[in-house]
Amino acid sequence: MSELRHDPIQKRWVIIAPERGIRPSSYYQVQPGSAGEDEFCPFCEGNEDKTPPEILAYRESGMPENGRGWRVRVVPNKYPALRIEGSLDRKGVGYYDAMGGIGAHEVIIETPFHDEDMADMSVNNLARIFKAFKERMTDLSQDSRFRYVLGFKNYGKSAGSTLDHPHSQIIALPITPRNVAMELKSAKEHYQLKERCLFCDIFQYEIEAGERIIRVTEDFIGYTPYASRFPFEIWIAPRTHSHDFTLIQDKQMNSLAELLKEVLMRLRKALNNPPYNLIIHNSPNIKGSKKRSHYWETLEYDWHWHIELTPKIIPTAGFEWGTGFYINPVSPEEAAKYLREIEVY
């Protein structure tokens, strides 16, 4: 029988409908295509002059900037969604509100190797990628025009990726996104009522219950949310309370890299390398919200950064768009069990 489940963070309902008869194995995917030998890739090593000048790079000592020898490289997006030059110019347009398209849009080129997906990378290189996220998110947060800095990865064409070479993106925004704003509101309300972090309460319950857990390490939890919107939706979060991803330490970065690698290996084997979106939900930028800083006065205590990983294996159709409801044909308990039982080593 179908079940309506409530997500206390986003305050939305999800329909879990396992009786629709779709098993986890039904989501076995055709692998995302990769560029052939005759296709040009601007992100491959040796093509550094085909991208905008790098903002950040981790490379072998003695190697010149914007040249070979790098391991992870960050460049401005050549076709940015928002541009860093200019002012916000907030204004009213009749009944409506508008502002300039100000922000920042950067690309993290994760590896010099075209076909080395995250699941194949060493833990050290995955940690470098998280280090690049940390450095660039920290730097962009110094700009008072930006109220939120989002880190994300689109893997596979159906997940929004336009280049096969492994890469992630960072976008700095002059507003707080609606999804994050709802999570912040839920977290604040929970803290005001109970003087506890909503996320910490949920993570502790999930660890005790165990049925939706994929893996728990000393530092992180990986699990399928109780009200998962999509089959095999996964959250990864620090077990110790932390409101800001940019405060992550080197040891934690390695631990996070180990867990993410294992989760991606399990997903790849379970679903044959599915497309996915990976999003870092971090705290808003207090430096960019001075006029409303009082609104986040408990942010350090009530917010908890986390990663949301969503495989793109079913379409979002009219019912979902029309109602805001999601119908998930695989229960999170079944998805977690299926992933736990996959042998990856």
What CATH number should be reported for the domain holding residue 201?
A: 3.30.428.10
**Residue 20 is assigned to a structural domain of this protein:** yes
The residues, ordered by sequence, that sit 6+ positions from 215 with a Cβ below 8 Å of its Cβ are 221, 222, 259, 262, 263, 340
Find tokens 């100000």 and name the residue.
102
pLDDT tens digits for range 10-37: 777 766 667 655 666 666 555 554 444 4
Burial of 79 (0-12, 13-18, 19+ CB in 10 A): exposed
- Cα–Cα nearest to 248, from 135, 91, 79: 135
Range of the domain at 166: 3-340
**Residue 42 is assigned to a structural domain of this protein:** yes
Which candidate in 167, 190, 281, 304 is catalytic? 167
Which residue type sits at 186?
A: S
**Residue 25 is assigned to a structural domain of this protein:** yes
**Residue 112 is assigned to a structural domain of this protein:** yes
Predicted confidence at residue 310, as pLDDT, reads 97
Tell me how far apart the 2 most distant CA atoms of the chain are, in Å.
63
Cβ atoms of residues 27 and 274 within 8 Å = yes
The residues, ordered by sequence, that sit 6+ positions from 230 with a Cβ below 8 Å of its Cβ are 310, 311, 312, 313, 314, 326, 328
What is the pTM (predicted TM-score) of this model? 0.90
| Rounded Cα gap, residues 225 and 217, in angstroms | 17
**Residue 345 is assigned to a structural domain of this protein:** no
- Cα–Cα nearest to 168, from 181, 150, 180: 150
| 3-class DSSP state of 201 | helix
More confident residue, 96 or 199: 199
pLDDT tens digits for range 187-242: 999 999 999 999 999 999 999 999 999 999 999 999 999 999 999 999 999 999 99
Whether 167 is catalytic: yes
Predicted confidence at residue 292, as pLDDT, reads 61
Question: What Cα–Cα distance (Å) separates residue 90 from each residue in 95, 174, 290?
Answer: 14, 10, 16
**Residue 249 is assigned to a structural domain of this protein:** yes
How many domains does the chain contain in total? 1
